[in-house]
Amino acid sequence: MGVPMALRLVRAGHDVVVFTRTAAKAEAVLEAGARWANSPSEAAVGRQLVISMVTDGPDVREVLLGEKGAALSAPQNTLFADMSTISPDAARSIAVDLNVLGHRFIDAPVTGGDIGAQQGALSILVGGKDADVQQALPVFELLGRRVTHAGPVGSGATLKACNQILGAVNLLGVCEALAFAKRSGLDLHQVIDALGVGAGSSWALQNLGPKVAAEDFAPGFMVDLLQKDLRIVCEAARACALPVQAVQLAQELFANNQSHNEGRKGTHVMYKALERIADAK
């Protein structure tokens, strides 16, 4: 996700300095005109806006506040925008620690996948103070078609958790419907075409359904990453005493995928977990 996002900023004329833990991933961005930094700390020197896009809350904390963290060298009052998917509590905790160092923070996770990142069509879900969001808005508008300021710090992460609930449970319905259709002797391509215009249609049916029918389980978004996101959902849901039973079922199916070495496949490989469970009965 970070590579196409950084490319859009470079091509729009921004002075972009990049650091990534896997240096080879930055090659395309550097060729487009970005400058390389040897650490997050080096990348933040003289910056007005520092954007992080990594895997989880501990990773964000390390690149911003660790031994070589960006917060150590950034000018006073720098705005940090984390666009990773982390927990609301992690976002609030990082914000507090950055504030102590004289910096500002907004959480701004995204939806739309790698294609949305390439096209500048992401939906950006933001939590933070209004003035801070307004400062980041011109950059966000290069990256996404919709920017939603949901409330104070942590609100963006909460809104992203809502999105992951919808995505996982929606996908469960798609995979279960297609497994039922196949076992009933229907043609999956015809099923997708017929139901793609009705009340049961969804992004998952229209975009991932054809991949299931073709038995193409290459990742757009990997099982391992969605499992991490659903862990965040369950932690946040426990904090507000909400049972998320459908999410837990999705987690069980993805755990089946992971136990069969499918964690790095696309999330629609859930379909294969359903098939295995049915075959075992």
Q: What structural domains and CATH numbers belong to the chain?
A: 2-151 (3.40.50.720), 158-279 (1.10.1040.10)
Asked whether the predicted pLDDT for residue 281 surpasses 80, the reply is no
Six-digit token string for 279: 């075959």
Local confidence band at 117 (pLDDT 50, 70, 90 cut-offs): confident
Local confidence band at 80 (pLDDT 50, 70, 90 cut-offs): very high
Q: How many CB atoms lie within 10 A of CB 218?
A: 10
Local confidence band at 255 (pLDDT 50, 70, 90 cut-offs): very high
Could you confirm whether 68 is annotated as catalytic? no
245 burial level (CB within 10 Å; 0-12, 13-18, 19+)? exposed
Local confidence band at 6 (pLDDT 50, 70, 90 cut-offs): very high
115 or 198, greater pLDDT:
198
Q: For residue 135, which of 91, 95, 79, 96 has the smallest C-alpha distance?
A: 79
Q: What is the mean pLDDT of residues 52-64?
A: 96
Whether 264 contacts 223, CB under 8 Å: yes
How far is it, in rounded angstroms, from Cα 156 to Cα 108? 6
Q: What is the mean pLDDT of residues 64-75?
A: 96
pTM for the predicted model, two decimal places: 0.93
Residues 6 or more apart whose Cβ sits within 8 Å of residue 125: 108, 109, 110, 111, 148, 150, 156, 157, 159, 160, 163
Whether 212 contacts 191, CB under 8 Å: no
Q: What is the mean pLDDT of residues 44-59?
A: 96
Please tell me which residue in 129, 160, 211, 281 is annotated as part of the active site.
160
